[in-house]
Amino acid sequence: METLRNKILKYGHAIDENILKVDSFLNHQVDPNLMYDIGTNFKNYFKDKNITKVFTIESSGIAPAVMTALQMNIPMVTLKKNTSKILNDDFYQTTIHSFTKEIDYTLTLSKKYITSKDNILIVDDFLANGEAASGACRLVEEIGAKVAGIGIVIEKSFQPGRKLLDDKGYDVYSLARISKLGKGLIEFIK
């Protein structure tokens, strides 16, 4: 997606070979027009997958996921990173590791927002090591629902996440695929 790549080049900050800050348009301040275009791209790519819901992990994936759900006219469900005091025992959980934050956290999904008949599109802001997407897939598949695809806004293609998800047979569609990062350096896969 050319608009997204241009935004990354103009406003993104490559801190080092692993960290790309895009907080001015994707996850701290959000560019709603860009998110709408992202939602349109995901809708067009996954249009023949009979998707019933869009899932994302709080919080940075919410903006692109809600715009995708809006475009598809289906509900969007947020997977929580922490158990809430208002949740009872009626939920699914799995543990995932955040390499960026160097912590483990528990991903939680309320049972009332998924059935075995659902066909889920998972949308997330970044794909690096594949832990978050893999955890979301485990939750979806735990009750027999299907992962129809995984939509990624920015993929760090030099990290192992894409291969991990491809090897598991998931349809992964990334809008911007970065081949190399370094301090002040951002390169895309052509």
Distance, C-alpha 67 to centroid of its chain = 13
What band does 147 get if pLDDT is binned at 50, 70 and 90? very high
Which residues define the annotated binding site? 20, 27, 128-132, 156
**Residue 17 is assigned to a structural domain of this protein:** no
pLDDT at residue 91, rounded to an integer:
85
**Residue 101 is assigned to a structural domain of this protein:** yes
**Residue 139 is assigned to a structural domain of this protein:** yes
Average pLDDT over residues 163-175: 97
pLDDT at residue 87, rounded to an integer:
56
Q: List pLDDT tens digits, range 173-188.
A: 999 999 999 998 999 9
**Residue 121 is assigned to a structural domain of this protein:** yes
Q: List pLDDT tens digits, range 35-57.
A: 999 999 999 999 999 999 999 99
The pLDDT of residue 131 is above 70: yes
**Residue 28 is assigned to a structural domain of this protein:** no
pLDDT at residue 86, rounded to an integer:
59
Return the axis-axis angle of helices 32-46 and 62-72, rounded to nearest 10°. 50
Could you give the percent of the chain with pLDDT greater than 70?
A: 96
- Strands in 19-161 per DSSP E: 20-21, 53-57, 76-79, 91-98, 103-110, 119-127, 146-156
Full residue range of the structural domain in which residue 163 is found: 39-178
Q: Give the total number of structural domains in the chain.
A: 1
**Residue 3 is assigned to a structural domain of this protein:** no
The structure's pTM equals: 0.94
**Residue 136 is assigned to a structural domain of this protein:** yes
Which residues define the annotated binding site for 5-phospho-alpha-D-ribose 1-diphosphate? 128-132
Which residues define the annotated binding site for xanthine? 20, 27, 156
pLDDT at residue 104, rounded to an integer:
86
**Domain CATH code at residue 158:** 3.40.50.2020
**Residue 160 is assigned to a structural domain of this protein:** yes
Average pLDDT, the chain: 93
